[in-house]
Amino acid sequence: MPPALDSRCALFLDIDGTLAEIAATPDAVQLHPAFADLLPDLQRELGGAVAIVTGRSITSADALLSGLVLPMAGQHGCERRDAEGAIHLHATSGATQNRLRDLLEGLARRHPQLMLEDKGATMALHYRATPQLASHVHQTMRRSMHDNDGFELLPGRMLLEVRPEGRDKGTSIADFMAEPPFAGRVPVFVGDDKTDEHGFDAVEKLGGWSVKVGPGRTSAQFRLANPVAVRRWLLAPIETPPQSDSTTIKR
């Protein structure tokens, strides 16, 4: 169990598998109604230093949050909305992206059980409905990627994602931590998947702490069993630390 948040923290949260249970398709995911009040409360108590860091697009994540507009990194940091509402985009090679999109679309046509999620800068091929195709999907995409593409493959929970190189959840958290209201705080990142490991590493390098949700190997320092446990942990009162020159949480 991670320690309770305190008022020096900057909180970064994944969505799928962390705030919400994984569903058969991304569109079927639902956020528990309690978060409608909990997230604004956390944002107020932490001086605005709450952000969503997700593989979803910002548009998709905003729809889940039902009108609550938070600072957010979408598509593993390929798009980011800062605390002032400014959008930061990281462009990719259109020709290369189109070639990879055609390849993914071809795989999905040949195997209708696969689901292609085109988020814009990133694309994910889901094989949750047919896990026996996982090896075929991974091998096909590895053979088709070139060293100079500027894209990389990122395995996730029952999916394979194609994303631009150089952007991940860790770089997004570092970007936020260089800006108000996050700068100078203790970063805390909560995530559930392999794609969140970059975020865990980033917060630890910045003197913060990391929380893995669910089973599986991880570099995170703490673990919570599931999104229900995450919600219970976030509902705990935020502590007020003693006055100190240090901003490092003792563990």
Phi first, then psi: what are they for 188, rounded to 5°? -130, 125
Which residue in 67, 63, 59, 74 sits closest to 14, CA to CA? 74
Contacts of 167 (CB under 8 A, 6+ apart): 76, 77, 78, 90
Question: Which alpha helices (DSSP H) does the chain contain, by range?
Answer: 35-45, 58-64, 94-110, 134-144, 169-177, 197-205, 227-235
* Active site (annotated) includes residue 201: no
Task: State how far the Cα of 129 lies from the Cα of 158, in Å rounded to an integer.
Answer: 9
What count of other Cβ atoms lies within 10 Å of the Cβ of residue 8? 21
Name every residue whose Cβ is closer than 8 Å to that of residue 118 and which is 6 or more positions away in sequence: 101
- Spell out a b/e string for 17-29, using b for 16 or more CB atoms within 10 Å of the CB, else e: bbbbebeeebeeb
Which residue out of 14, 168, 175, 193 is catalytically annotated?
Answer: 14
C-beta of residue 139 within 8 angstroms of C-beta of residue 120: no
Q: What is the C-alpha to C-alpha distance for residues 61 and 49, in angstroms, rounded to an integer?
A: 18
Catalytic residues: 14
